[in-house]
A and B are shown apart, each in its own frame.
Chain A
Amino acid sequence: MAERMPRPEDPHWTPAARAEFMRRRRGRNLLLLAALGGFCLLIYAIALVKLHEYGTMW
């Protein structure tokens, strides 16, 4: 059975560990947000250029 994901509400966590967990999770989420946003912009830019220059995507 897969291990349970660590949760900040686990009672045995110290406040410092909980704060560090939240900081890391926030950093990961921001990176993921930037990656997904960047990916959408990239596809949009490729579509604009290809449709403008070649009139087709493929």
Chain B
Amino acid sequence: MSGTALDATLGGTAADWLALLKPRVMTLVVFTGAMGLLIAPHRLNPVLALTAIFCIAVASGAAGAINMWYDRDIDAVMKRTANRPIPAGRISPEGALGFGIVLACASVLVMAMATNLVAAAVLALSIGFYVFIYTMWLKRSTPQNIVIGGAAGAFPPVIGWAAATGSVGLLPLLLFAIVFFWTPPHFWSLALYASGDYARAGVPMLPVVRGARHTRVCIMVYTLLLLPISLAPYILGLMGPIYGATALLAGVAFAYHSWLVLTDRQDAQGNSLARNAPARAAFKYSILYLFILFGACAVDRLV
């Protein structure tokens, strides 16, 4: 019996079920959600605040599990995702779907119980956006999938703020905009060196449809757009100088990384002759950028 067939017979391990929740994505979602909660003007009881963060984490995991259920066909042909529990045969597609739906419903219900209906409604909206708008509609139909679908990952700071205040204000909407404009250069940097995988799976990522050269230009444009948007909370007086200085420095560094991606040694089609080292560096830095920026929000508010 082959390894995969044996795995399918024996069933997944606890670690496989946890892997369905995409824990690495969850880290960033939880962090931005917690920052939204932390910078809100109202203080929530610590137990309820931790519950709200936990609900954001579980909802993110639930959306990830449903995404893995829907994308199991393309995951199977992509090197990066072929060993995920469903394509590897360790968890059945139906089991993963049920797991995702139960967790999604539970996270929204507990959020409503622990905080308020606004936070629960935005949480439900974020799950629905990721599953129906991004996964089922945009991802396979347009090279702009990441641009519009990026909204799904931008909800957590709004949810965190809503959990504490029961409303949605200008600052969380600006944080939403920051994550929204951060998402395309983040994912396109990854797509530049994983475009072979996406092409094999038939996913119309920008480098696959429009080529690497066009993608490099788009990364630069979105990074430059992100800079003034990230400064807006300071310019509008919603954040202090600690945040303003950090956003400026981190944004310039992000623009520098994007510039290196744009000017990478490349062939006529824009394919890297340097094993996409600048794109890899830009992808790693983009994650650090978001941590720095949202960390500065919290420091600015607490100091």
A-side residues, CB < 8 A to B, are 6, 17, 20-21, 24-25, 27-28, 30-31, 39, 42-43, 45-46, 49-50, 53, 57-58
Contacts and interface: CB of A to CB of B under 8 A. Distances in A.
B10 A21 contact: yes
Interface of B: 6, 9-15, 17-18, 45, 47-48, 51, 54, 106, 110, 113-114
A20 B51 CA distance: 35
A28 B114 contact: no
A57 B6 CA distance: 48
Contact of A46 (B10, B13, B110): B110
B48 A49 contact: yes
B13 A27 contact: yes
11 contacts: A6-B9, A21-B10, A21-B11, A27-B13, A27-B14, A43-B110, A43-B113, A46-B48, A49-B48, A50-B114, A58-B113
B91 to A, nearest CB: 10
Given A6-B9, A20-B10, A31 B17 contact: yes
Contacts of A30: 14
Nearest to B90: A24
A18 to B, nearest CB: 9
Contacts of B10: 6, 17, 20-21, 24
